[in-house]
């Protein structure tokens, strides 16, 4: 699959990771100490250890996702009785009370988006590691999609925060955030870091090598 475009990498150019200045990659001497002439940051043609770092962050997020779904997200006290709700039981509760819109938002932000992000990142990592050159443009679009929607998983934490702030009626009713909220917040943050650690240019490097 031959590309009709010439990349900066092929032209010996490199973009600074901090100020994004496009500089000439040194042809002679030590490339280990290549420095951006504008901001002084160290230059890298590709994100260092992108694959291994992304795998580490991704697996960490996936492990934290288990307690985030098993442990209670909210603890509701009503007339002296306490009820613990996980993410899924909360969705079922909203559906049972006719709040389909809220249930859909929570399901999308807390279940669908994180799982889709995990699966897409796994696919992108494996496609690069196994030297896959199939449909690079579509894979790049997948990466941009998870990069854009990943932060919206925080909607569930936002819903819990608003609910906790609104329902404070003393002994009559009270809602508190459960331990799952902390785990889920870490899942969102770490999965966002995993997305940022992956270098999508690796997809196109393989296309150029096999072109």
| pLDDT for position 164 | 56
Average pLDDT, consecutive stretches of 10 residues, N- to C-terminus, the chain (211 residues): 62 79 70 77 83 96 94 76 80 82 82 91 94 88 87 65 55 68 89 92 79 59
| pLDDT for position 29 | 47
| pLDDT for position 139 | 92
**DSSP conformational letter for 151:** G
Report d(CA 17, CA 23) in Å as an integer.
11
167: exposed, middle or buried (Cβ count in 10 Å: 0-12, 13-18, 19+): middle
| pLDDT for position 57 | 97
| pLDDT for position 156 | 59
111: exposed, middle or buried (Cβ count in 10 Å: 0-12, 13-18, 19+): middle
| pLDDT for position 34 | 81
Q: Domain residue spans in the chain?
A: 1-45, 49-210
| pLDDT for position 41 | 81
């Amino acid at each position: 699959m031959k590309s009709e475009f010439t990349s900066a990498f092929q032209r010996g150019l490199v973009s600074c990771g901090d100020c994004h200045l496009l500089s000439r990659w040194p042809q002679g001497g030590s490339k280990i100490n290549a420095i951006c002439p504008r901001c002084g940051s160290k230059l890298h043609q590709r994100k260092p250890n992108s694959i291994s770092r992304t795998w580490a962050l991704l697996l960490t997020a996936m492990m934290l996702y288990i307690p985030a779904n098993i442990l209670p997200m909210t603890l509701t006290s009503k007339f002296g009785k306490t009820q613990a709700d996980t993410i899924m039981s909360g969705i079922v509760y909203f559906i049972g009370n006719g709040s389909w819109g809220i249930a859909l938002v929570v399901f999308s932000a807390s279940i669908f988006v994180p799982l889709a992000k995990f699966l897409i990142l796994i696919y992108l990592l494996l496609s690069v590691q196994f030297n896959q050159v199939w449909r690079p443009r579509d894979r790049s679009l997948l990466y941009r999609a998870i990069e854009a929607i990943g932060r919206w998983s925080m909607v569930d934490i936002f819903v819990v925060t608003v609910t906790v702030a609104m329902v404070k009626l003393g002994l009559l009713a009270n809602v508190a955030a459960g331990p799952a909220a902390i785990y889920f917040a870490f899942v969102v943050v770490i999965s966002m870091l995993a997305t940022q650690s992956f270098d999508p240019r690796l997809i196109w490097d393989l296309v150029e090598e096999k072109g």
